[in-house]
Amino acid sequence: MVVSDAEELEVGDPVEVAVENAVRKAQAVAAEEPVLGVDTVVVLDAAIYGKPADDAEARATLERLSGRVHEVVSGLAVVEGGTVRTASATTRVTFRDLDAATLDWYLATEEWRERAGGYAIQGRGAALVAGIEGDYLNVVGLPVQALLELLPGILQPPV
DSSP percent split of the chain into helix, strand, coil, nearest 5: 35, 25, 40
Query: CB atoms < 10 A from the CB of 85, how many?
Result: 14
Q: Per the residue annotation, which of 13, 39, 55, 97 is the catalytic one?
A: 39
- Cα–Cα distance for residue pair 69/41, rounded to 1 Å: 14
In Å, how far are 49, 59, 83, 94 from 90, measured between CA atoms?
Answer: 14, 24, 24, 13
**112, amino acid identity:** W
Would you call 5 a catalytic residue per the annotation?
A: no
Residue 112 has φ and ψ, to the nearest 5°, of -65, -20
- Cα–Cα distance for residue pair 97/26, rounded to 1 Å: 37
Query: 39: which residues sit within 8 A by CB, 6+ positions away?
Result: 8, 17, 18, 19, 21, 22, 25, 74, 75
**Catalytic site positions:** 39
